[in-house]
A and B are shown apart, each in its own frame.
Chain A
Amino acid sequence: MEAKGLLKELLELPGGDQILKCIQCGTCTGSCPMSDVMDYGPRRLFALIKDGSIKEALRSNTYWVCASCYFCTVRCPRGIKITDVMYALKELSVKQGFYPAGEPTVKMYQAFRETVEEYGRLSEAKMMQKFGMKAPLDVIKKAPLGIKLFFKKRIETKVEPIKNLDAFKRVIQKARQLERAS
Chain B
Amino acid sequence: MKAVFYPGCTLSTAAGYKESIEQVNRVLQVELPEVDDWSCCGATAYFSLDELVALVLPARNIAIAERDGYDWIVTPCNACYATLRKAKAILADNEDLRQKAKQALEEEGLSYRGKPFIRHLLDFYLLPEVFEKVKENVVKPLTGLRVAPYYGCQYSRPQVGDETDDAENPVNLDRLLEALGAEVVDYSAKTACCGAAQMVAHEDGCLRLVNRIVKAAQQKGADAIVAICPLCQFNVETAQKKLGYNIPVVFFTQLMGLAFGIPHVNLGMKKLLIPADTVLAKI
Contact = CB atoms under 8 A, between A and B. Distances in A.
Contacts of A143: 199-201, 203
Interface of B: 9-10, 12-15, 37-40, 42-53, 55-57, 60, 90, 96, 100-101, 103-105, 107-109, 153-154, 157-159, 167-168, 192-193, 195-206, 208-209, 234-235, 238-239, 241-242, 271, 273
A33 B193 CA distance: 7
Contacts of B105: 171
**Which size class do A's interface residues fall under?**
35 or more
B92 to A, nearest CB: 14
Contacts of A13: 51
A109 B45 contact: yes
Contacts of A105: 198, 201-202
A113 interface: yes
Contacts of A146: 199-200, 203, 234-235, 238-239
Given A142-B203, A153-B273, 15 more contacts: A33-B195, A36-B208, A37-B204, A67-B197, A84-B47, A104-B201, A116-B42, A122-B40, A145-B238, A146-B199, A149-B273, A168-B108, A171-B60, A172-B56, A176-B52
Interface in A123-182: 123-124, 128, 131, 135, 139, 142-143, 145-147, 149-150, 153-156, 162-164, 167-168, 170-176, 178-179, 182
Contact of B50 (A73, A104, A120, A176): A176
Q: Enumerate the 4 nearest inter-chain pairs by beta-carbon distance, A residue then B residue, closest first.
A: A37-B205, A70-B157, A122-B9, A69-B193
SS class, residues of chain B in contact with chain A: helix
Contacts of A55: none
Contacts of A170: 107-108
> Which of A68, A71, A139 gathers most chain B CB within 10 Å?
A68
